[in-house]
Each structure stands twice: as structure tokens, then as C-alpha cells.
Copies of this chain bind each other. A is one copy, B any other.
Amino acid sequence: MRISQLSAASGVPIPTIKYYLREGLLPPGEQTAATRAEYGESHLRRLRLIRALLEVGRLPIAAIRKVIAAVEDESLGMHEVLGTAHYAIAPAVESHQEDEDWRRARAEADRLITDLGWRVHPEAPTRVELAQAILTLDQLGMPATGEALRPYAEAAVNLVVEHEIGTIPLDGPREAAVEALVVGTVVHGRVLDVMRRLAHESISARFFGVSEE
């Protein structure tokens, strides 16, 4: 299809498509004449990936470039590509205190992951994020043991197993599967986060006795 048709099919304006082409986020079309290029299904899929990472994942362009490089690198397995996406969507881990409290929180995080039988890289920044949350809860006098956080782990793993991994189309081209995996991770993360805030609003309305509108 022509760039105008690609624009119509994807809902992405032509100048934006040209920007993605210049930035190397979108591979060039097949040149059929000096001023004419043909685009295909893979371009349409790639545009959806970019828009999802940008609008739903709210990733900066630099992070999107890293994710796309991983998607395109056929020497990487699915697990490595997903890892790249996870590291791109994870917030930067701030510097933190290196004291006894921190070491205890970090040990608690590692212990919980071990107790759950989860396979997580020893250097994964998510371990630091979890430890930071545990430390904050502890400092606030809120339940912060692995046991207290276990229901969050169990809810998360159930959703991923039952509603996410199964939707990946593994029988098609590698790129389609990888893109579905990456976008699914980003969008479902957003779904869960927004559901939690919606639930909080609703429960708080009841709990604090706000009258029906």
C-alpha cells in the first residue's frame, strides 16, 4: 500500500509516519519508483507497536528505539526481547540508602521471590524496586513482610498465566509474536494499574460514606 493508505489504515498522520521513518523506528517501504514506496502488513503492525508503546506505555522515543532494536534482532530469543521491554518500561531505580534497613528490605524481597519459586535474574532491577517498596512500607509502619505482599504476587502471576501468555500468537511469524508479547506486557500493566485506581475510588466512596451522586 502507499503511505497515504498506511496512514488511513493505521490512523497515524503522514508527517508522523515520515518522522518514524527518519528516526528508524519504522523500516523503509519497498521502493517501487523514485518517489513511490510500498508498505505492507509488517509496517502496519510496527506502527501499532510504536503507538502502543508511546500512548499507552508512555515510553520516551529513546526507550522505544531500544525495544524495537530488540524486536528486530533475530538472534534474541523471546525471553530476551521481553526482558528488554521490561527494562525499558521500568522506572529508573533511584539511588538508595545502603544501610542495615536497606539490606534487610532487599533480603526480604529476595526471600519472597525464592519462596514463590520465581525465576528472576539475580541482577534484575525489579528486585531493587521491590526492596524499595518494602522499605517504604516498613518505614510507614505498614505490613511489609514477604507474607504481607504475597497476595500481590499471587494476583499478578494468575493474571499473567491465565490472561496474557496464552494470547501470544506463537504459530505465526516471529515478529508478530514478539510484538504481541511486548505490547501485551505494556498494555496489561496499564490495565491493572488503572483498575486498581478505579477500585480505590469506588471503595473509598463507600468506605468514607460519600452519598450517591
Contact = CB atoms under 8 A, between A and B. Distances in A.
- For A149, A155, A164, the residue with the greatest tally of chain B CB atoms inside 10 Å of its CB is A155
Contact of A130 (B136, B191, B213): B191
A69 to B, nearest CB: 19
Contacts of A63: none
Interface of A: 11, 48, 51-52, 55-56, 58, 77-79, 82-83, 86, 89-91, 94, 96-97, 113, 116, 118-122, 124, 126-127, 129-130, 132-133, 136-137, 139-140, 142-143, 148-149, 151-153, 155-165, 167, 180-181, 183-185, 187-208, 210, 212-213
B55 A199 contact: no
Contacts of A83: 201, 204
A185 B200 contact: yes
Contacts of A139: 48
A205 B204 CA distance: 38
A180 B133 contact: no
A156 B29 CA distance: 43
A57 to B, nearest CB: 9
Given A153-B199, A163-B151, A192-B193, A140 B52 contact: yes
Contacts of A156: 192, 195-196, 198-199
